[in-house]
Structures are given as structure tokens and as C-alpha cells.
């Protein structure tokens, strides 16, 4: 889902450039937001993957379910899934 958000932000920036070529600040901010999301996701993914492997070995037996594990929540968030606090 975050990839969809990045794609939508880039499309909005492109549309903004075509609709108001004199005002590039808005489209630049949209592109910056898309870049930032991609950068954050790339930086966090290497931490989430090993953590989730650890949790499969450890938390499944200690937690009621993997869905309550912080590592699972972090990985799902990186994937763009919505999780409500329980």
C-alpha cells in the first residue's frame, strides 16, 4: 500500500505540474514526500525482516498471537497494512 501511496503522490505531482506550471512548490513537496516514504521504507525494512524471523521462533509461543508482536506490527505497517491498537 505504501508503494501505491508513493505512486499516487508522484501522479499528483505530475498533474500539479501540468495544471499549474508556474507553481512548482506543491509538486516539489509531493515528490519530496514520495521520496521520503521510499527512503524510510528502505531504511526500516532490513530491521523488520530479521525481527519477524526472531518472533516466529519466540513470540508465537509467548504472545497470544503474532499480530500483537511489535515486529509483526512494524512489518505490516511497512507493507502499508492498517492495524488498530487493541
Distance CA 71, CA 67 (A): 9
Structure confidence by residue, pLDDT tens digits, 45-70: 887 777 767 776 666 555 556 667 77
Q: Is residue 83's pLDDT more than 60?
A: no
State the pLDDT at residue 8: 93
Cell 503522490 maps to which residue?
Answer: 9
- The whole-model pTM stands at 0.64
The domain locations on the chain are 2-78
State the pLDDT at residue 31: 92
Q: Please return the burial class of 75, using the count of CB atoms within 10 Å of its CB with bins 0-12, 13-18 and 19+.
A: buried
Distance CA 34, CA 40 (A): 10
Amino acid at each position: 500500500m505504501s508503494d501505491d501511496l508513493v505512486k499516487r503522490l508522484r501522479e499528483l505531482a505530475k498533474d500539479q505540474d501540468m495544471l499549474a506550471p508556474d507553481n512548482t512548490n506543491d509538486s516539489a513537496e509531493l515528490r519530496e514526500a514520495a521520496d521520503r516514504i521510499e527512503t524510510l521504507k528502505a531504511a526500516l525494512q532490513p530491521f523488520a525482516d530479521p525481527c519477524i524471523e526472531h518472533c516466529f521462533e519466540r513470540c508465537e509461543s509467548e504472545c497470544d498471537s503474532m499480530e500483537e508482536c511489535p515486529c509483526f506490527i512494524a512489518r505490516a505497517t511497512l507493507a502499508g497494512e492498517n492495524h488498530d491498537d487493541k
